Structure 1
Amino acid sequence: MSTVQVTFRMEDTDAEASFIRNYLVSAWKRFETMEAFEKGWFWRNGHYGRHGIEYFKGGRILLMIDGDPETVVDEECDRWDSLVEDGAIESWSVLPFEEIGYDSVYSKAVDNVGKRGADLFMRLKPLLTQTSLDLYEALDEQIAMVGDEGDHNPKGIGFWVVINTLMKQNGYDWYDEIDGCTKSTKNRLKSMTAYKGGGGGPREASRNNKRTTGVFRRTVRVAR
């Protein structure tokens, strides 16, 4: 089993969303009928470009294909060329993981997060990818992470409810949710620091990390 990363470049984040709704939702159903397709997932990157990071400018989707990816690419590449011709995407390219020193995405994950972490990644990412594709298919709008609070939406219902619902449906209580959200916040602050680099980025992230952790700790004490 091996892995390739297919990078699709497009004009902006609107083009990313259109690509997912108009191509990837139906393509995924096709992938899952292929013996060559073991598992996969995708990332959207364009939304990070609004923070002034040159690396993320424009629209870009990374598609991971695990199994016999060359066969999957051969089956789909004509469709990708048609997307370029139609202006839906600007380009596509394929990067085998062997070219970055790994035989698969799993071996890279073991290096990054350890064997147990890699095993969980490989089980969870494909499942959550299907959940995301279902949301794209069902919804025709980008839901705000936190809704504008007011008479029409007094609880600020937004995309955060997806995370909350998944936790509740899988048997996690208030403290488990708080632990998960705290860990996620710290993880995102570290990522932000790594990409933003100098110019106050690490200092700002460190302050936010301490401030956010303190808020969560106070919340736990009050709740108990």
Structure 2
Amino acid sequence: MSGRLIWFQFESIDAETRFVREYLPNAWERFEASDFFETGWFWRYGQYIEYDAGPDGGIYINVEGDLDRLVEAEAPRWNAFEGLTDWTVNQPQADGDSLLAQQRDSKGEVAGEWDYRLKPLVTRFVLEYSQKFTEPLPLLTDDAPTSKDKVIDGYGYWVVIHYLMAQAGYDWYDETDACLTAMQNRVKSIAAYRGAEAARAEYERLLSEWKSHREDLEQWLEEAPTGEATVE
């Protein structure tokens, strides 16, 4: 079965965010309960609009199934959604590739199959998160007290990465290796969209931040108990 794409465009980032929070969670339940949806995921791009180069915003939904029936069922809701300015469906080819074949073509045989299985899981998590947190978590907090009844300094959305890795059985060094690889990958993505100079600038920023962290780390090591942690 071929995989196809629906592209949604919005009048503002706020409208795009509302689409994720107000439309997609219930829609995904309808998709998965239907007999015309096999699998799929969504991707959003509104967060890149502020930059001088890169994606121009919007959301796409990749669908494997009978897309014509999905569109017939959902189009009235799309047309009625305030702030959604346009939606389009890509035209299928005579022998269109499945989503699995598309991912393998993009990422390779093994990584492509992993992507095919992972992206739907991430979509379900994000949609559940959007319902549990009506106000999204900050990426991190900067100047918060450390008392147990208040937010701990540095807490934020980044902990999702830690929780996912820890619950999947990865240790401290696995996490630091993964974060290093993620930074290397994102710097290359910046280069792809915004050019070599933007990538070099971000690399230098990260390097400077990491070097300056040495002093803070040494001070923390002097003040905090080390080698004594236990699981409670």
Q: In which range does the TM-score fall when normalised by the shorter chain?
A: 0.7 to 0.9
SS class of match (1:64): strand
Question: Contact 1:3–1:105 at 8 Å: present in 2 too?
Answer: yes
Among 97, 109, 112, the alignment partner of 1:103 is 97
Q: How far off its partner does 1:116 sit?
A: 0.5
Q: How many residues align?
A: 213
Measure the CA separation in 2 of the matches of 1:142 and 1:173: 27
Instruction: Specify whether residues 157 and 108 from structure 1 end up closer, same or farther in structure 2 by C-alpha distance, changes over 3 A only.
Output: same
Matched residue, 1:134: 128
Unpaired segments ≥5 residues, structure 2: 227-232
Q: Deviations over 1:36-89 (max 9, x none)?
A: 111111111011111222642xx4111111122222122211221222xxx331
Matched residue, 2:6: 6
Question: Contact 1:13–1:47 at 8 Å: present in 2 too?
Answer: yes
Q: Deviations over 1:5-58 (max 9, x none)?
A: 1111112221111111111111000000111111111111011111222642xx
Q: Deviations over 1:149-185 (max 9, x none)?
A: 3214343111011111111111110011111111111
Question: Contact 2:140–2:156 at 8 Å: present in 1 too?
Answer: yes
Question: Contact 1:3–1:67 at 8 Å: present in 2 too?
Answer: yes
Q: How far off its partner does 1:148 sit?
A: 2.2
Amino acid at match of 1:204: A
Matched residue, 2:229: none
Among 164, 167, 186, the alignment partner of 1:166 is 164
Measure the CA separation in 2 of the matches of 1:3 and 1:96: 11
Matched residue, 2:23: 23
Q: How far off its partner does 1:186 sit?
A: 1.1
- Does 2:195 correspond to 1:201? no
Greater helix share, structure number: 1
Matched residue, 1:40: 40
Question: Contact 1:3–1:96 at 8 Å: present in 2 too?
Answer: no
Q: TM-score, normalised by structure 2?
A: 0.81
- Does 2:55 correspond to 1:60? no
Q: TM-score, normalised by structure 1?
A: 0.84
Q: How far off its partner does 1:145 sit?
A: 0.9
The percentage of counterpart residues that share the same residue type is: 35
Question: Contact 1:10–1:89 at 8 Å: present in 2 too?
Answer: yes
Among 163, 175, 178, the alignment partner of 1:177 is 175
Unpaired segments ≥5 residues, structure 1: none
Instruction: Specify whether residues 213 and 104 from structure 1 end up closer, same or farther in structure 2 by C-alpha distance, changes over 3 A only.
Output: farther
Matched residue, 2:138: 144
SS class of match (2:153): coil
Measure the CA separation in 2 of the matches of 1:127 and 1:4: 19
Measure the CA separation in 1 of the matches of 2:93 and 2:201: 37
After superposing the two structures, state which structure 1 stretch, 141-150 or 205-214, moved more: 205-214
- Does 2:152 correspond to 1:157? no
Question: Contact 1:97–1:103 at 8 Å: present in 2 too?
Answer: no
